[in-house]
Structure 1
């Protein structure tokens, strides 16, 4: 069965806010994120007519590019999108500029300030500026200090700074970075970004829960038996070995992406729909989340690392054979764990989180499994009745699926499971925007709803501190289990759920 809109309009569904005159300053403009995500997202906003004519992008990096060279390189990055929209690109790219800047050189910041004043006059951006730190995390603190020292963050109404993940490496470093950043700008100027929060289906968790009375009464420990949150990738480490060797899956995916999905799934209803009310509830629920066994954390977590696999036609190298990876690396590419949320709504409900590279399928989803009926009155077409499940598909097939039992055809009274499905593409007639499209727009609009507040990021790091300390101090207690590429992770991960007589969902 497929759920559809009562009156699915194909045109005009969007009610978007138009961004005010603005200059977006991207530090790290020569990097991969700018090429792959930021400029494509900005061009998409332009094509949607959501950028004002008084708009500019100033790319900054150490390379000595000219404005024209920056425009050419961005056009190359977009490829066919530019050739298919040449007139739009020509108009958009007229607002792209470039300035060689090293954030560690004070004289460069003086020159940058002067260039911004020129762009303000040339493009009529009215002094509204969003600074995007797409640089190495080691420069987040010093970058904010440099901007503040140059007086570029002094106006809290017209300036803001966007900081990429990871925000810190652990609880202590996140606290230290917060102190630095908050000494340079007010909290309402600081936008800690997690691109998962830009996905329509992540945001839809809130609407599904708090706009539908059929879900709220059963969204608790009385009806939900367990929750699984998965973020699976088919790719390996690719070109990120230098970064990944120092982070691993726990820091790269669990502390941010999976934890944000956990927070949205478990948070209480905000008193009203405004940024601080929502972020208050997310912070509160993360502050009462805990590992299933904080005293012996190795009992509730499994680490894995992919080995060689694939097929004879498409062999896949193991992690240790990837370029730039230590041949004796113990960095995890897979993590699975069990958590609890100690509040009235969720007390005793286990939450299982897992993420990994080189898994069989690319997907992110939240699966809520409901408690079984107290008495099974009917025979089942399978070995036993299937528990009701609500599956929230974050990517790639954005939507939701509800699994429940119905009578199987025939003269007997046997039950069988069926799925009722909602698909964004089918219902709305258009794919949802890529996450950076929404988040860049919100940052420039000054809307922090989908960005992470300082206390929230600290609570997320605190949650995983026992695991990080264990990996650092006693790694033999939390060993890295090998798993074959294109499988669903190490056998130890299955054992983690088997202790509770459960299985991972195999999509």
Structure 2
């Protein structure tokens, strides 16, 4: 596995720790090697020492596990714009004659094309090669298609793995199991019994050291076009004929095509964009977005997005899908909430203020869990109801080791499994849906709505749901 961007934040925080976990679990072949690349010259010894320090808090294996993992790693200087470096890389890889070579492009998107061109030039795009592309793939449909066209000149579609790590989360996989492995939910999983769906991905972090990148990207491109729309597909798609990779992806593309367009005239009514200002996270003061390093003065880039989406098909017509994502919010949480409709005629007194007695909450982070809320009789001599829940703690319910999202997806790449990766037509359709929103925001003189760091976003986000007599599910 060749990690382009091996000195970057993603490699240090996610990719190499995931590979280390796979190594400790015996999931990597004894002969597997990791080539980490960076633009600066450094020795393997120095690179591994820095990596060990960076991963110290994340390592859970024995000392000998780290020593044997470190022996797999080689560092090479590879400048994406220097052809001579690729000649050296090819010589090193071809000398070992591996059956499978994975090229993980954990770099800025503008480097995807030159890297793939150089890999093709030196013959590293053979049938055993696979290339992993990180999001965002471009900044709009045209740039995304340009990158895809360039990569496709050197790699076949079944060699290209467009990664979305949310699809590797255990709870997302459990969503499919709940829906398609049980007869209980399918009759209810439709417009007749589902009132609305809410999907939230909230972060406590700000832009951190990614200010320059984030200011050119924004929350809509960074989170909605990929993560949130993929989760919509997993919730709303029809049962696939099998677990074959294209059977699943064929159903997802149908949902993306069925999303009702949010046109220019609808953007103000169906979307909210916000930008955080100074506040406090866990009692500690934090700066506003415009005070972050790398942010252009007066920037109008959004750090928060809320959207009311609708799916125009027989199963979901008229059911709102409320999507929300933001930085510097009150808590770090990612969840899917299915609100079921109330009973046709209520004969029991209800708990005060309860608007959704039955809901299924699928928590993706920080702890993965599934919780089903329903009403039961309150103890006593009166017939009054109270809300309770059935809880499935996914971490505690099984003694089997649980692979993290990146670990699962990296192993799928190695094994040649494409089912949890985004197909090109999915990506095209997602860009087509978000582009009218992007264009309207770009041309609008109205700035993003301000919200205080440490809150749940702008007040307009709550107003978006109140028009449907609803409110966001917010639970610690």
User: Normalising TM by the smaller chain, what interval?
Assistant: over 0.9
Contact 2:202/2:325, CA 8 A, preserved across alignment:
yes
Report the alpha carbon displacement of residue 311 of structure 1 after superposing the two structures with TM.
Answer: 7.8
C-alpha distance in structure 2 between counterparts of 1:264 and 1:382, whole Å: 33
Closer/same/farther in 2, CA of residues 90 and 297 from structure 1, 3 Å limit: same
C-alpha distance in structure 2 between counterparts of 1:366 and 1:76, whole Å: 36
Counting only pairs closer than 5 Å after superposition, residues 324-335 of structure 1 correspond to structure 2 as 324-335=294-305
| Residue in structure 2 matching 1:147, options 94, 100, 119 | 119
| Residue in structure 2 matching 1:468, options 434, 438, 455 | 438
Look up the match of 2:19: 42
Q: Deviations over 1:219-275 (max 9, x none)?
A: 011110100000011111111111110111111111111111111001111111111
Look up the match of 2:212: 242
**1:307 and 2:277 correspond:** yes
Look up the match of 1:13: none
Contact 2:280/2:286, CA 8 A, preserved across alignment:
yes
**1:167 and 2:137 correspond:** yes
Aligned residues: 475
Contact 2:281/2:453, CA 8 A, preserved across alignment:
no
Q: Deviations over 1:393-424 (max 9, x none)?
A: 11112111111111111112111211111111
**1:318 and 2:275 correspond:** no
Look up the match of 2:451: 483
| Residue in structure 1 matching 2:167, options 192, 197, 205 | 197
Report the alpha carbon displacement of residue 312 of structure 1 after superposing the two structures with TM.
Answer: 11
Look up the match of 2:86: 109
Contact 2:263/2:436, CA 8 A, preserved across alignment:
no
Q: Which moved more, 1:355-364 or 1:384-393?
A: 384-393
Report the alpha carbon displacement of residue 313 of structure 1 after superposing the two structures with TM.
Answer: 5.6
Contact 1:424/1:432, CA 8 A, preserved across alignment:
no
C-alpha distance in structure 2 between counterparts of 1:304 and 1:429, whole Å: 42
C-alpha distance in structure 1 between counterparts of 2:379 and 2:263, whole Å: 46
Look up the match of 2:56: 79
Contact 1:385/1:405, CA 8 A, preserved across alignment:
no
Look up the match of 1:208: 178
C-alpha distance in structure 1 between counterparts of 2:341 and 2:39, whole Å: 57
Q: Deviations over 1:68-122 (max 9, x none)?
A: 22222222222155696221111121121122112222222111110112344xx
Report the alpha carbon displacement of residue 324 of structure 1 after superposing the two structures with TM.
Answer: 2.0
Aligned-residue Cα RMSD (Å) equals: 1.7
Contact 2:341/2:356, CA 8 A, preserved across alignment:
no
C-alpha distance in structure 1 between counterparts of 2:417 and 2:145, whole Å: 23
Q: Which moved more, 1:292-301 or 1:353-362?
A: 292-301
Q: Which moved more, 1:69-78 or 1:267-276?
A: 69-78
Could you tell me the TM-score, scaled by structure 1's length? 0.90
Look up the match of 1:18: none
Q: Which moved more, 1:383-392 or 1:79-88?
A: 79-88
| Residue in structure 2 matching 1:298, options 225, 243, 268 | 268
Report the alpha carbon displacement of residue 330 of structure 1 after superposing the two structures with TM.
Answer: 1.2
Secondary structure, counterpart of 1:290 in structure 2: coil
C-alpha distance in structure 1 between counterparts of 2:257 and 2:24, whole Å: 41
Look up the match of 1:9: none
Look up the match of 2:470: 502
Q: Deviations over 1:125-177 (max 9, x none)?
A: x3420111111111112221221122111x22x11100111112112222222
Contact 2:195/2:340, CA 8 A, preserved across alignment:
yes
| Residue in structure 2 matching 1:118, options 62, 75, 95 | 95
C-alpha distance in structure 2 between counterparts of 1:493 and 1:338, whole Å: 10
The answer for unaligned runs of 5 or more in structure 1 is 1-23, 121-125
